[in-house]
Amino acid sequence: MPFANTNSLTATDMNNVLRGLYRDNTNHAVTGTASETDMASLTITGGTIGATGALHVVAAGTITTATDTKRIRVYFGGTAIGDTTAVTGTGDWFFDVWIFNTAANAQRCLVQWGNHNAATNINHDYITAAIDTSSNAILKLTGTLANAADTITQTVFDVFITQIT
């Protein structure tokens, strides 16, 4: 719903605005282990998104050391909705994720991710999920190293919310 250009902003208009829900832009590193490790985690309280709302997640960081593979994943409600698979070397990575509720227990997810290997190394995926957002759901970012001497660092984890009324 567009804003009326002749009226004052209303509460309904404000409910349709993308707004910040959470920000963690401190560094969280995975190193010294080859186990999948949480870098960022947020509990989305039941009912926060609404039956037709959406979450927008932006995450980014770096990978360093060796040529062994590193894997970064985004989970929502226990379901992996984004996965870089295997990235190597030293450089940067990012996720740009939209999670759209079509009902309180049905989502459509658009996930884009990329890494440093080439300017054209940007991937995308579209998936559907059945997470009950009327209950609490965990949104998290994890990292897995093939070589415990490597490092994955999350430097950006921002979550925005849109509620459509």
Q: Please, is 35 exposed, middle or buried when counting C-beta atoms within 10 Å of its C-beta (0-12, 13-18, 19+)? A: exposed
Supply the pLDDT for residue 12: 59
Q: Tell me the whole-structure pTM to 2 decimals.
A: 0.86
Supply the pLDDT for residue 87: 80
Q: Are β-strands 122-129 and 106-115 bridged in parallel, bridged antiparallel, or unpaired?
A: antiparallel
Instruction: List the domain boundaries for the chain.
Output: 18-162
Percent of the chain with pLDDT over 90: 64
Provide mean pLDDT across the span 131-159.
95
Contact 21, 160 (CB under 8 A): yes
Q: Please, is 76 exposed, middle or buried when counting C-beta atoms within 10 Å of its C-beta (0-12, 13-18, 19+)? A: buried
Q: What is the CATH number of domain 18-162?
A: 2.60.120
pLDDT digits (tens, 9 = 90+) for 10-51: 555 555 566 788 899 899 999 999 999 999 999 999 999 989
